[in-house]
Amino acid sequence: MAGAEEPERVSRLAGRSSAYLRSAAEQPIDWHPWGPEPFELAKRTHRPILLDIGASWCHWCHVMDEGTYVDPEVGRLLAEHFIAVKVDRDENPEVDRRYQRQVGALTGEGGWPLTAFLTPAGEVFLGGTYFPPTDGHGRPGFRRVLKEVARIWVEEPEKIQENSRAVQGALERMRGARAPDARALDAFQSQVIAEVHSGYDPVNGGFGMSPKFPHPTGVALFLLDGRQNHRELSDQRAAETLAHMGDGGLYDQVGGGFHRYSVDEGWHVPHFEKMGVDNAALLSAYVDGVRRFGDPRFEEVVRGTVGWVREVLEDPAGGFGSSQDADNAPGDDGGYFTWSRAELKAALDPDEARFAARFFGIGTEGRMPHDPERNVLFRMISVEEAAEGRPMPGGPTATLARVLGTLRAVRTRRPAPAVDRALYADINGRFIAAFAQAGSVLGEAILLADARRAADRFLSHAYDPERGVAHRLDAEGGHGWGLLEDQVGFAGGLIELAGALVEPRYVEAASSLLGLVDREFRGEDGILRDISPRLYDGPSLGALKEPSYPLEDSPHLSANSAAAIAFLRLASLTHDEQWRAKATALLPPIAARIGHAGLFAAGAALACGLASGEPATVIVEGSGPDARALVRAARRTWHPNAWVFDGHPPPPFGLPDAAGAPVRGSTPRALVCFGMSCAPPVTDPAELRKLLESGPSAAVT
């Protein structure tokens, strides 16, 4: 009988589009994907539900899959007493968001894997994260947990009900604690800036202690504060954070791109998964760093990150995959990304090996805790210091380039961690924006072409003006409609791409998406819910019946703040004030709801700052080398809300009336307008940079 049922069990996950679900198809667990079937089965059999939420990039999810969920006794207990449901958090972020909140309300614990026990109605009564099969790692073994939950379910149903009520009560108290706190937006912004500064690490840059996540919105807020309020400390801390992260082990010094987070406060040893959403946000932050500080190291990081994305995540048909795993085999922990001293000696000549050992701090803070012979590479000293006293053909910089080239070649021969090539609209929107920005600053047309291919693929196969953009795109088209983060993330990417390419159809698609957001996603107090009740095509099960309002950065920009920024960017691109009005209507309820969230409110404070400032429009007239120099100078100058046009753009791109009509046949010149006022034309790139940096005080009506 068991043999006859096996193909049915395997087939539930084997044919799924999610790589995470497919990887569990051969486990001795009768897994169900998310949907009505397991909930109906739980009701019929009066069994509790085990909900496992994870992702293909998640190290501890793999550890639990490879240890706990292959354990025969765990499989037997689950088969006898539970209905098991497995969810890919990237594929179903709306499910993950709600159950993270429920488990957190009960235990104060969250993250991945999320392990939750539910009633057949979908309410959490017990939960946690990683569980080993037997007692260990300071955690109870899953065998023991399953036996106890099964016993309580039968013998103490009142305890189940009590826990479920406790979760719902905690959620109610959390909602009550977020009672609207009306404040002026400038006061809210000042408060958040002060809170972000209070959490700054003055030794290592970044925010907080270990484990330490990059917070690109915190960096962006510092840059905005430095400009708007002439606060040198904010500029300094933005630059320090970018420098420390880029030189640390958080950044893959050999292959480019950023790992998920650092386990120590010094950015030395990372958790090795590389997330698309993080790399897109960090890429934009480093592009801003290039514009604001002109630091060549920041440009190296931009090029390295772009190189990793193009090599590892980019789909040849257009679009960007979602992540690269941390591990390359069961039981691995960073083996692909780390180096022993012996491996460096085998790969490099003696002088280069000594140089690399000094430069990358071999044997110091980058040693792996479980294997001190292996090292994460980070930049401990300058190339000049590392080369001191040794003959370096071509000089220290050329030596570093040779060393990195050799190490890259060696590493390509190692088994590489798996890549999740799933195409998600929110992640692709962020990459489209970042590639459009990077292509403009670096003058690399190929990056703009990459962004265009991604946008066109989604618009052709996963976009409907009546429903917006689907969450996931595969060979069969779009799947998963009605999620806020997809609409605002993808619209934001289209806006940046439209401005970079001066392409009206991207403006039109972005306008359609943001109009849909405004109509379909409004909830309490006018803030935006994560699901459109009319457009969402998933099953309304369990916690999905609860409304959810993504307000806090996590650590990337929250969907509500992203919507406000997208409204403002579209307003500045088109000079259509309806979009600015939508942003200024959305921001007060966000500020009122988000409370004293500090760093996690940085995106909302950033949006408030953009709303209070004047956007900049630069129009370069003329042609030839002098005109190109003006365009380059404008695109490499930082302004929080600027657009640079090589010539007067067509509708629906908007220009201030004061910009006047195009002047043909004259010396190349740049018009710089702030809001509806324009400064006298300039012809010198240095003067253009100074004017754009100085702001509206230089403009005349």
Rounded CA separation 642/31 (Å): 50
pLDDT category of residue 175 using cuts at 50, 70 and 90: low
pLDDT category of residue 169 using cuts at 50, 70 and 90: confident
Provide mean pLDDT across the span 127-156.
Answer: 92
User: Hey, where are the domains in the chain?
Assistant: 2-177, 616-698
pLDDT surpasses 60 at 226: yes
448, 433 Cβ separation under 8 angstroms:
no
Instruction: Provide the pairing of β-strand 616-621 with 642-646.
Output: parallel
**pLDDT for position 168:** 82
pLDDT category of residue 178 using cuts at 50, 70 and 90: low
- Compute the C-alpha angle 419/422/426, nearest 5°: 120
Provide mean pLDDT across the span 610-632.
Answer: 96
* b/e sequence 473-512, b meaning 16+ C-beta within 10 Å: beeeebebbbbbbbbbbbbbbbbbbbbbbbbeebbebbbb
Rounded CA separation 423/673 (Å): 38
57, 274 Cβ separation under 8 angstroms:
yes
% of the chain with per-residue pLDDT over 70: 96
pLDDT surpasses 80 at 2: no
% of the chain with per-residue pLDDT over 90: 86
pLDDT surpasses 50 at 171: yes
Q: Closest Cα partner for 485 from 498, 501, 469, 503? A: 469
35, 88 Cβ separation under 8 angstroms:
no
**pLDDT for position 49:** 98
pLDDT category of residue 180 using cuts at 50, 70 and 90: low
Residue 234 neighbours by CB under 8 Å, 6+ apart: 193, 197, 221, 222, 223, 225, 226
- Compute the C-alpha angle 262/268/272, nearest 5°: 50
**pLDDT for position 468:** 98
Instruction: Provide the pairing of β-strand 367-368 with 371-375.
Output: antiparallel
pLDDT surpasses 90 at 121: yes
pLDDT (tens digit, 9 = 90+) per residue, 320-335?
Answer: 999 999 988 888 889 9
pTM: 0.96
Residue 539: φ, ψ to 5°: -75, 140
pLDDT (tens digit, 9 = 90+) per residue, 261-287?
Answer: 999 999 999 999 999 999 999 999 999
End-to-end CA distance of the chain: 84
**pLDDT for position 9:** 45
**pLDDT for position 695:** 80
pLDDT (tens digit, 9 = 90+) per residue, 7-28?
Answer: 444 469 998 999 999 999 999 9
Rounded CA separation 478/432 (Å): 18
pLDDT category of residue 698 using cuts at 50, 70 and 90: low
**pLDDT for position 699:** 62
Rounded CA separation 185/352 (Å): 55
106-120, 163-177, 227-241: least confident range? 163-177
For residue 251, give both structure tokens. Answer: 């950044």
Name the helix (H) or strand (E) containing 293. Answer: helix 276-293
What is the CATH code for 2-177?
3.40.30.10
pLDDT surpasses 70 at 518: yes
pLDDT (tens digit, 9 = 90+) per residue, 636-674?
Answer: 999 999 999 999 999 999 888 877 777 777 799 999 999
Q: Which residue has the tokens 């109605």?
A: 121
**pLDDT for position 7:** 41
Q: In 10 A of CB 388, how many CB atoms?
A: 13
For residue 603, give both structure tokens. Answer: 């995106």
Provide mean pLDDT across the span 121-150.
Answer: 92
Q: In 10 A of CB 397, how many CB atoms?
A: 12
